[in-house]
Amino acid sequence: MSVSLRFFDSHAHLNNDQFTDDRAAVRGRMQDAGVLRVCEIGYDLESSRNAISSAAAEAGCWAIVGVQPNHPEVAQDPTWLDQLDLLAQQPNVVAIGEIGFDHHYAIAPVAEQEELFRAQIALAARHHLPIVIHSRNAHADTLRVLTDVRHPYGVIMHSFAGDVTYAEACVDIGCTLSLSGPITFKNNHAMHDVVTAIGLEHLLIETDSPYLSPHPLRGKRNEPTNVPLVAAFIADRKGMSLAEVAHATWQNANRLFGLSDDTP
Ligand SMILES: [Zn+2]
C-alpha cells in the first residue's frame, strides 16, 4: 500500500480506555499508514469534551460532539442541551453526533430517543453543522425523521449497514454513507451489493475504533491505521484504484466537515 496516499477516518473513539496505554503509538502508526485525518467522536457530554480536548492537542484531528441514543441519562440534566451547545461552538468541532436510534439495546423508549435525536438535529442546524447518525435496527424510524427534517448541512450514516434499497433511500435524501470494517466480511453480501451500487461521491470510510475491525483483523482492537483496508475493499469491489477511493473519500470528508487541504 503506497504511503503517498492520504486517508480520512471519519469516525473513531480514540478516547476509549482501550487506547489509554498506547495512544501515541497508535497515532504514529496512523501517520505511517497515510491516515492523516481522523474525527474523534463522543457519545455523551463527557466523551464529547474529551474528544474536543484530545483533538485540539493533535494535528489532523477534529471532534464530533453529541449524545448517542444509548445514553438517555444525559437528558436528565435539564442543562444538557445548553452544555452541548457550548461544545458545538468550539473551533475544532466539525459535526454533531453520534445521534439517532438504537432499537437493538433500546435503553430508552422510541419517543424519548426521538426527542433526543430531534433536539440535536435542531442544534446542528443552528450551528450549520453536519450530523453523524447512529442507527441500529432502526431503518424505518431513522429514515422517517431524516426525511421529515431534511437537514441541509450534511448527514453522515455512520457505519452504514443495510441493503441496497435502504442505501438508495438514504442517498436520495442527501445522506452520505460512511463504510466500516464489516463490509469486508465474506458473508456480508448485502453490504457488498451496497458498495457496488452506491457511487463513490456518496461514500466515506471509517474504523469506529476500537470496534469493528476489518478482515483479516476481525475480533482484534481496531485503530485508524486499518481504514485503508476498508478503502481497498471498496476499490476492489468497484474495479477502481485504491488511490481513487482514498482521494474521493478524503475530498468528501473535507467537504462535509468544512475542511480544506490547507486546514492545519
Ligand atoms: Zn462510534
Q: What is the CATH number of the domain that holds 26?
A: 3.20.20.140
What is the residue-averaged pLDDT of the chain? 95
Residue 262 lies in a domain: no
Predicted pLDDT at 4: 83
Q: Name the pTM for this structure.
A: 0.96
Predicted pLDDT at 156: 98
Residue 42 lies in a domain: yes
Computed on alpha carbons and rounded to an integer, the radius of gyration of the chain in Å comes to 17
Q: Residue 167: which pLDDT band, with cuts at 50, 70 and 90? A: very high
220-245 average pLDDT score: 97
Residue 96 lies in a domain: yes
Higher pLDDT, 262 or 166: 166
| C-alpha 202 – ligand 1 centre gap (Å) | 19
| C-alpha 149 – ligand 1 centre gap (Å) | 23
pLDDT surpassing 80 at residue 215:
yes
Taking the CA atoms of 64, 96, 256 and 174 in sequence, report the sign of the dihedral they define: positive
Residue 53 lies in a domain: yes
Percentage of the chain lying above the pLDDT 70 cut? 98
59-78 average pLDDT score: 95
Residue 67 lies in a domain: yes
The string of pLDDT tens digits covering residues 10-67 is 999 998 889 989 988 999 999 999 999 999 999 999 999 999 999 998 899 999 999 9
φ, ψ for residue 174 (rounded to 5)? 95, 10
CA distance 25 to 19: 9
* Residue 124 · residue 130 · CB < 8 Å: yes
pLDDT surpassing 90 at residue 234:
yes
Neighbours of 95 (CB within 10 A): 29
* Residue 254 · residue 261 · CB < 8 Å: yes
| C-alpha 116 – ligand 1 centre gap (Å) | 17
Phi/psi-derived region of residue 145, left when phi > 0, alpha when psi is between -120 and 50, beta in every other case: alpha
**Domains identified in the chain, total number:** 1
Residue 211 lies in a domain: yes
| C-alpha 204 – ligand 1 centre gap (Å) | 14
DSSP, res 219: T
- What is the residue range of 18's domain? 7-257
Peptide bond before residue 210 is cis, with ω within 30 degrees of 0: yes
Predicted pLDDT at 3: 47
| C-alpha 134 – ligand 1 centre gap (Å) | 8
Q: Residue 8: which pLDDT band, with cuts at 50, 70 and 90? A: very high
Q: Residue 2: which pLDDT band, with cuts at 50, 70 and 90? A: very low
Predicted pLDDT at 262: 77
| C-alpha 243 – ligand 1 centre gap (Å) | 26
Closest by alpha carbon to 68, among 112, 134, 115?
134
Residue 263 lies in a domain: no
Residue 196 lies in a domain: yes
* Residue 134 · residue 99 · CB < 8 Å: yes
Please tell me whether residue 99 adopts helix, strand or coil conformation.
strand
Question: Which residues have a beta carbon within 5 Å of ligand 1, which is an ion?
Answer: 208
